[in-house]
Structure 1
Amino acid sequence: MGKLPCALLFFLLFTNPAFSWKKEEFRNCDQTPFCKRARSRQPGACPLTATDVSISGGDLVAKLVAKETNQETPTKPLVLKISAYQDGVMRLKIDEDPDLNPRKKRFEVPDVIVPEFSDKKLWLQSLKEEEEENSGLISVVYLSDGYEGVIRHDPFEVFVRERGENGKKVLSLNSNGLFDFEQIKDKKDENEDWEEKFRTHTDSRPYGPQSISFDVSFYGADFVYGIPEHATSLALKPTSGSGVEASEPYRLFNLDVFEYIHDSPFGLYGSIPFMISHGKSRGSSGFFWLNAAEMQIDVFNGNNSNEFLKLPSDQKRIDTLWMSEAGVVDAFFFVGPAPKDVVRQYTSVTGPTALPQLFSIAYHQCRWNYRDEEDVYNVDSKFDEHDIPYDVLWLDIEHTDGKKYFTWDKMLFPNPEEMQNKLAAKGRRMVTIVDPHIKRDDSYFIHEEASKKGYYVKDKTGNDFDGWCWPGSSSYLDMVDPKIRSWWGEKFSCKNYVGSTPSLYIWNDMNEPSVFNGPEVTMPRDALHYGDVEHRELHNAYGYYFHMATAEGLAKRGKGQDRPFVLSRAFFPGSQRYGAVWTGDNTAEWEHLRVSVPMILTLGLTGMSFSGADVGGFFGNPDTELLIRWYQLGAFYPFFRGHAHHDTKRREPWLFGERNTELMREAIHVRYMLLPYFYTLFREANSSGTPVARPLWMEFPSDEKTFSNDEAFMVGNSLLVQGIYTQGAKHAEVYLPGDQPWYDFKNGNSYKGGETYKLDVLEDSVPSFIRGGTIYLERTDFDVALLKWQMILTLWL
């Protein structure tokens, strides 16, 4: 009886196809105390000054102390450390002093920074002090490549500047004096209430407020980009400042959001707290905060946000405010100066995109759900019948026995190995879904073992956390523990995953984590992980560790399995090392087609090159024109998959009449023709971090007309693609940057660069152009393609 109300609530709320994003289900800044406090602070409020500045162990170290202490400011010094690395990277760490025995060690995110990054450390040898007019005493260290790291003593500020007389600033922290670090403390008395409530949920907050906030300024910037995931424009819009209507900050908090709305700063499935700036005068720079707690970020209105910095009128800047609920300051400054330099510097810290196998960058066919083996064979044969290539067929949760992962419904899929082998005989693979919620069923071998070993996340009382997801009552594996990740990885061996074969790969969904009856549809913040770390401290990294464990498990399967394909919905910095991501549960609307481009470009800028959006939209039934336009654009996504909700009409490409099937076939054929080119670009991403799909300004960094253009994009350096985002469009305006000619991808017509063209919209393609003076690999027939691949594999593998 006790579970009946929850089960009924689950059925009513989460099996109703009309359920969608509801604003009131999620917190805004005013309902989030740490965000509200940080936003209320005024420039210059930071009371900290830097003392005892010296060089120790190859780093600049200092203490941050309050000039005047009171109940509102820290009473214990903070420890600051600046480290320099090769290729223009500076790292800043600020934490409580461990020698002063803080009540709790603050969480630092492990397993994100690649081990080889430490080999690039530069040992700082000397420190010079200068007295600057209007700035007071500063301490300066030489970084590399003509840049210096500087700490101003009073008031405290950290920045990177160009070396030389009157060297201009590139990036700074606390230039506006907004730094605040809430130290973990004991309660003054037992009556002090640290609890936070939202709707029907109460967060016990046993350690009280522990948030951190600070301002970051980007100099010489016209726009800032990054910090996915949001369904909004590529160039981040101001959220605060003069002349700006008050809005929510950009939120970074991994959430399961049904039918998310476009043009919103609301956080979605993944979080990468990395921002890149770009401007015509200076180029690009970047800032990354390694922190897995909830984060909110304000972008101020260009160069008019406030006058606290008192810059020369010719030095532009964009100010931002970064706010996090917990953690430490572990921040990285990237000096650029070119856009590709910044992404290379960032991926030197978090790792480059894994080099995918060829099949995974081809076309994928998915639906929730293909019903049974007969349905699988029918879909497979129809692709052949209609001469439509595809490489991967997917199965969603209904293929399992009662939504228990690593199992098969024996009535619907009685011969899973035979099914996979028949697809493999045609060179095709299969993907099945494996989510982090484990059904609490004593007869289920995963649950029995995980429960016995104590491998689940705990609730605040120390018991196994019990939440609701697709199977009903579920617990969640504590993937922060390396031992549990290793145990999980073993489950993917063909011996342990009964019914699987080497041609089966994996899809991790719902790994934000999604908890249907939890606060904001996720896990309570006071749940406990390995090492007594609260969920609030690592929430945004939970899906990352799950993705990591799955990918490493597949890689252990044996020979030829060292490049696994795993798709993840949740992501975090470093996720690019483990597989692909997609933009989640989008909708069959023209605006969702449009917003897919800036979302994918933003993911690429922040390391996640292998990304795409559900072609056709996950929710709803696209009209035929929208579906065709989506295939024509999706053929240029780095990850190309058609996918749909089980309540939608079937939409395989042959179901819309002969002419429409022909148009979708042609779009998919374009992708296959370009596979050698895409593979080349993935190798480039793997070696340098440069994304596969790129904003125009990455290739044309001095052309201001490209800076806010997010309807067109570059595939590599050779191919420009312009989507069609309006029903019934007859014409499209396309800007072709640069001073070289461009050639129409379809008919070879030549166009002069640096001009905007009003072009007739064609039924059979979206506007796409080859850049003069570049080379791209094209697959013309099987024999030629095979020869090209042999050459590529010989050179690279």
Structure 2
Amino acid sequence: MITNTEVEKRGNQFPNNIIDFKHDNEKVYFTTQNGVLLEITILRDSMVRFRYATEFAFEPDFSYAISSEVNTGYNELEVEEKDTSFTIATSKVVIRVAKKNLKITISDLEGNIINQDDNGFHWEENFDYGGNVVKMTKVTQSGESFYGGGDKASHTNLKGKRISNWVTDSYAYGKDQEPLYKSIPFYIGLHNEKAYGIFFDNSFGTYFDFAHERRNLTSFWADGGEMNYYFFYGPKISQVVEAYTDLTGVPELPPMWALGFHQSKWSYYPESKVKEVSKTFRDLKIPCDAIYLDIDYMDGFRCFTWDNQKFPDPKRMIDELEKDGFKTITMIDPGLKIDREYDIYQQAMENDFFCKRADGPHFKGKVWPGECKFPDFTNPKVREWWATLYKEMIADMGVHGVWNDMNEPAIMEVPTKTANLDVRHDYDGHPCSHRKAHNVYGMQMVRATYNGVKKYTFPKRPFVLTRAAYSGTQRYCATWTGDNVATWEHLWIANVQMQRMCMSGYSFVGSDIGGFAEQPNGELFARWIQLGVFHPFCRVHSSGDHGDQEPWSFGEEVTNIVRKFIELRYELLPYLYTAFYKYIENGVPMLQSLVYYDQADTQTHFRTDEFLFGEQILVCPVQEPNSQGRRMYVPKGKWYNYWTDELVEGGVEKWVSAPLDRIPLFIKEGAMIPKYPVQQYVGEKKLTELKIDVYFKEGKEDSVIYEDQLEGFDYKKGRYSLRNFRLLGKPNELIIQQFKDGSFTTTYENFKIQFHGLPFKIKEIEVDNEVVSFESLKFNGNNAIEVSKDMTAIHLIGE
């Protein structure tokens, strides 16, 4: 990786004075004497795109990252020429462009500098490959912190770090190792209680230096392509994340079973082993919704085939698993075995769908089947063809979801671990080399997979999982953080990776619970389950070469603890499903780092362990062996200890008891937490009532519960149930109001409401402004009542 100093020594060129200027609607153009073009696009009052070119010419404007549904439009835009600069003002920010060197300064309306160029844009001709190395250098503001960046295995605060983005198969990666499986070139800066974001939309290898080499400079650069970045102004982190998420897109709601517990291993085979695992789940009454089949289900690792010795009748097996409540997920890799008798290989050959080297021959690489060729998923015709291949697997066999692995693409027995840089790609009509297409290859594979799975699972919703990703991949699938290790350090890494991914617009994410490589002991496995059930995607996966890693593999004590926490996840599914709805509707991360929750509190800026699950549950995993508790930071507000109902004042660090069967868990005061009954799988039980845990607060608090049919697309036609609750607590009374939207009718008729922390003894209860008897509400003195789901108001009056 080149350093700042090396870049500045090696013939860098910089823009000089502006000689031309043009304003055309939302775009402002500048041209310098030495041929630099700058296009500034006002997408929103607080979202601005900066795009630079050299030699008086822009490249074709194309990106895989940007959502077609991004919301744009501004309220104010004024452009003014002054003596030494041009000023572009919106209702949120003021942008100054220096006439002599094109340097940018972005301020808020009070004149506070939010983001400022140091060297600004500069470039160096790349004599090895052609084109330019493009770079941007910014001033690091006093006390500035940095967040985001995707799946980086480092501290949540990136201050003083350097990261790189080159999608890489990183087996058994370590703390701070670079690069990893994903390229998400987006970060959030925070200083003086004001947050902004920068998304460097460049699919080449990219690099970020967050005041690492020089403490007053932050820079980002790429091996080629354009200097093309988006700036988002908050001033809240939540506003920055919302804007970036809107720009790069969100997924559709998954089927609720995808939020259940999943079990995987490399590999479950033959059929008798799969049946043994599924039966044990049901015998031990440990909830589980999905079982994964790794590459060994295939015939010689040929994708879209079945090994008839291991799985003589896959359709029957899948049907039988489904009757027991298990969905079957199969793996598909990108490499197709070179075999003239292999129909899918022959189809790709006949249609010229494989990637080629610069001088013409097909690119070949060794993967699990041996020598393989690789479809060019950046070609829309290839994606269309790939989607059709799922018909037999999904529509005919009944497979419920697909798992794309090795799609970096990972290549064995070569130092680079991936395809040669001279491999050519279509790039949707913008031909390029693998230098540009590498980081989006896995994204485009999983895009094609998503389209196929969606088509053949219709009218139910698809489920797809990927390992490799570029910004925007969240539109198509869930992801996990790759081949981790069964160590306590990796438990810590998994925690920070989930927070970082969620703050980077990608919330449907999880880790290999228990570790993929090596063998956890029972204590580590239990602690990892306790963390993993609070991640949006919840799956145990292991390499299988070191022993079993099922919930019952570590003795009765650990089995009971694991069951307890998986059951808790199933209870909280309506809460998690609602968090997914908020993520889709409003760009709210499903997990929130403490700095996201309260950026004004400087104590949160360097916290890694604690996070919010949704918006009202505070989690702090135990990450050291032999622990009976831990110190944790409780953020602002008041929080109820989930296990004891003790009310804790926030803004302090405190000791929390956490024996092996507990994780520090707190509920925000005023919260209304929906719970389902424990089920062995989603849909096992017809819901007869919805339990709601209500945590008293003196003051106001709003809560939401979103529900629908759990699998189909009717929710897009208004057939959903959105319950908005407002809680108002006073020293001697509590009022709950309900406002309902949507036309979906739930199967249950009643709420069972359990009150926590009431400071008074209930004397009288009004429902919809009428006093009702305790008997009719089944009030038994333990602060629980049953009321109709259609109630509009509940009023508790104390003695």
- Distance in 1 between residues matched to 2:526 and 2:25, nearest whole Å: 60
Equivalent residue, structure 2, for 1:20: none
Q: 1:708 to 1:39 in 2, by over 3 A?
A: farther
Equivalent residue, structure 2, for 1:547: 446
The question of whether the paired residues in 1 share the 8 Å contact of 2:40 and 2:49 is answered with: yes
The answer to whether the aligner puts 1:334 opposite 2:228 as a matched pair is no
1:139 to 74, 80, 86: 86
Query: Counterparts of 1:284-363 in structure 2 under 5 Å?
Result: 284-300=195-211, 305-306=215-216, 319-363=217-261
Query: Counterparts of 1:38-77 in structure 2 under 5 Å?
Result: 38=7, 40=9, 46-66=14-34, 77=35
More strand by share: 2
Aligned residue identity for 1:262: K
**Partner SS state of residue 176, structure 1:** strand
Equivalent residue, structure 1, for 2:519: 621
- Distance in 2 between residues matched to 1:305 and 1:629, nearest whole Å: 37
Query: Counterparts of 1:201-212 in structure 2 under 5 Å?
Result: 205=129, 208=130, 210-212=132-134
Q: CA deviation at 1:327?
A: 1.0
The answer to whether the aligner puts 1:751 opposite 2:648 as a matched pair is yes
- Distance in 1 between residues matched to 2:421 and 2:212, nearest whole Å: 32
- Distance in 2 between residues matched to 1:467 and 1:768, nearest whole Å: 48
- Distance in 2 between residues matched to 1:787 and 1:731, nearest whole Å: 33
- Distance in 2 between residues matched to 1:97 and 1:777, nearest whole Å: 59
The question of whether the paired residues in 2 share the 8 Å contact of 1:57 and 1:123 is answered with: no
Range moving further from structure 2, 649-658 or 580-589: 649-658
**Partner SS state of residue 506, structure 1:** strand
The question of whether the paired residues in 2 share the 8 Å contact of 1:544 and 1:571 is answered with: yes
The answer to whether the aligner puts 1:83 opposite 2:52 as a matched pair is no
The answer to whether the aligner puts 1:573 opposite 2:471 as a matched pair is yes
Q: CA deviation at 1:643?
A: 0.5
Aligned residue identity for 1:763: L
- Distance in 1 between residues matched to 2:22 and 2:75, nearest whole Å: 13
Aligned residue identity for 1:177: N
The answer to whether the aligner puts 1:271 opposite 2:180 as a matched pair is no
The question of whether the paired residues in 2 share the 8 Å contact of 1:86 and 1:120 is answered with: yes
Equivalent residue, structure 1, for 2:97: 151
Equivalent residue, structure 2, for 1:12: none
The answer to whether the aligner puts 1:695 opposite 2:593 as a matched pair is yes
Query: Counterparts of 1:163-202 in structure 2 under 5 Å?
Result: 163=109, 167-172=111-116, 175-177=117-119, 179-182=121-124, 194-195=127-128
- Distance in 2 between residues matched to 1:518 and 1:403, nearest whole Å: 20
- 1:217-247 CA-to-partner distances (Å, cap 9, x unmatched) read 46576310111232111101414xxxxxxxx
Equivalent residue, structure 2, for 1:685: 583
Q: 1:548 to 1:434 in 2, by over 3 A?
A: same
- 1:523-542 CA-to-partner distances (Å, cap 9, x unmatched) read 11111111431110121111
Q: 1:677 to 1:260 in 2, by over 3 A?
A: same
- Distance in 2 between residues matched to 1:771 and 1:457, nearest whole Å: 53
Equivalent residue, structure 1, for 2:170: 257
The question of whether the paired residues in 1 share the 8 Å contact of 2:170 and 2:180 is answered with: yes
Range moving further from structure 2, 222-231 or 711-720: 222-231
The answer to whether the aligner puts 1:120 opposite 2:120 as a matched pair is no
Structure 2: segments with no counterpart, 5+ residues = 679-684, 692-704, 710-719, 723-743, 745-799
Q: CA deviation at 1:445?
A: 1.1
**Partner SS state of residue 551, structure 1:** helix
Root mean square deviation of aligned Cα: 2.4
Q: CA deviation at 1:697?
A: 1.8
Aligned residue identity for 2:668: R
- Distance in 1 between residues matched to 2:395 and 2:371, nearest whole Å: 24
Q: CA deviation at 1:499?
A: 5.7
- Distance in 2 between residues matched to 1:623 and 1:428, nearest whole Å: 27
- 1:334-375 CA-to-partner distances (Å, cap 9, x unmatched) read 001111111111012111243211011110000000011111
Equivalent residue, structure 2, for 1:515: 411
- Distance in 1 between residues matched to 2:555 and 2:26, nearest whole Å: 69
The question of whether the paired residues in 2 share the 8 Å contact of 1:353 and 1:609 is answered with: no
Equivalent residue, structure 1, for 2:380: 482
Aligned residue identity for 1:293: F
Percent identity reads: 29
- Distance in 1 between residues matched to 2:376 and 2:188, nearest whole Å: 32
More helix by share: 1
Q: CA deviation at 1:610?
A: 0.6
Q: CA deviation at 1:56?
A: 2.6
- Distance in 2 between residues matched to 1:644 and 1:383, nearest whole Å: 17
The question of whether the paired residues in 1 share the 8 Å contact of 2:250 and 2:474 is answered with: yes
- 1:100-147 CA-to-partner distances (Å, cap 9, x unmatched) read xxxxx8575533212233x6244986521224xxxxx1111223x332
- Distance in 2 between residues matched to 1:213 and 1:399, nearest whole Å: 46
Aligned residue identity for 1:112: A
Q: 1:283 to 1:124 in 2, by over 3 A?
A: closer
The question of whether the paired residues in 1 share the 8 Å contact of 2:574 and 2:706 is answered with: no
TM-score calculated relative to the size of structure 2: 0.83
The question of whether the paired residues in 2 share the 8 Å contact of 1:491 and 1:497 is answered with: no
- Distance in 2 between residues matched to 1:527 and 1:474, nearest whole Å: 14
Q: 1:124 to 1:431 in 2, by over 3 A?
A: same
Equivalent residue, structure 2, for 1:634: 532
The answer to whether the aligner puts 1:505 opposite 2:447 as a matched pair is no
Structure 1: segments with no counterpart, 5+ residues = 1-27, 67-76, 100-104, 132-136, 185-193, 196-204, 240-248, 307-318
Moved over 6 A (4+): none
2:262 to 346, 364, 367: 364
Equivalent residue, structure 1, for 2:82: 130
Q: 1:79 to 1:518 in 2, by over 3 A?
A: farther
- Distance in 2 between residues matched to 1:354 and 1:512, nearest whole Å: 24
**Partner SS state of residue 512, structure 2:** coil
The answer to whether the aligner puts 1:455 opposite 2:397 as a matched pair is no
- Distance in 1 between residues matched to 2:37 and 2:120, nearest whole Å: 18
Equivalent residue, structure 2, for 1:5: none
TM-score calculated relative to the size of structure 1: 0.83
- Distance in 2 between residues matched to 1:774 and 1:653, nearest whole Å: 31
Q: 1:125 to 1:384 in 2, by over 3 A?
A: closer
Equivalent residue, structure 2, for 1:649: 547
Q: 1:762 to 1:322 in 2, by over 3 A?
A: same
Equivalent residue, structure 2, for 1:527: 423
- Distance in 2 between residues matched to 1:518 and 1:53, nearest whole Å: 49
Equivalent residue, structure 2, for 1:21: none
Q: 1:427 to 1:220 in 2, by over 3 A?
A: farther
The answer to whether the aligner puts 1:225 opposite 2:178 as a matched pair is no
Q: CA deviation at 1:268?
A: 0.4
**Partner SS state of residue 653, structure 1:** coil
- Distance in 1 between residues matched to 2:595 and 2:210, nearest whole Å: 20
The question of whether the paired residues in 2 share the 8 Å contact of 1:365 and 1:641 is answered with: yes
- Distance in 1 between residues matched to 2:451 and 2:708, nearest whole Å: 26
1:110 to 59, 63, 71: 63
Equivalent residue, structure 2, for 1:659: 557
The question of whether the paired residues in 1 share the 8 Å contact of 2:103 and 2:121 is answered with: no
The question of whether the paired residues in 2 share the 8 Å contact of 1:221 and 1:282 is answered with: no
- Distance in 1 between residues matched to 2:490 and 2:8, nearest whole Å: 31
The answer to whether the aligner puts 1:764 opposite 2:674 as a matched pair is no
Equivalent residue, structure 1, for 2:107: 161
Q: 1:50 to 1:773 in 2, by over 3 A?
A: farther
The question of whether the paired residues in 1 share the 8 Å contact of 2:156 and 2:606 is answered with: yes
- Distance in 2 between residues matched to 1:387 and 1:36, nearest whole Å: 60
Equivalent residue, structure 2, for 1:416: 314
- Distance in 1 between residues matched to 2:62 and 2:438, nearest whole Å: 11
Q: CA deviation at 1:708?
A: 1.0
Q: 1:420 to 1:140 in 2, by over 3 A?
A: same
Q: 1:63 to 1:790 in 2, by over 3 A?
A: closer
Equivalent residue, structure 2, for 1:795: 721
The question of whether the paired residues in 2 share the 8 Å contact of 1:717 and 1:774 is answered with: no
The question of whether the paired residues in 1 share the 8 Å contact of 2:46 and 2:234 is answered with: yes
**Partner SS state of residue 407, structure 2:** coil
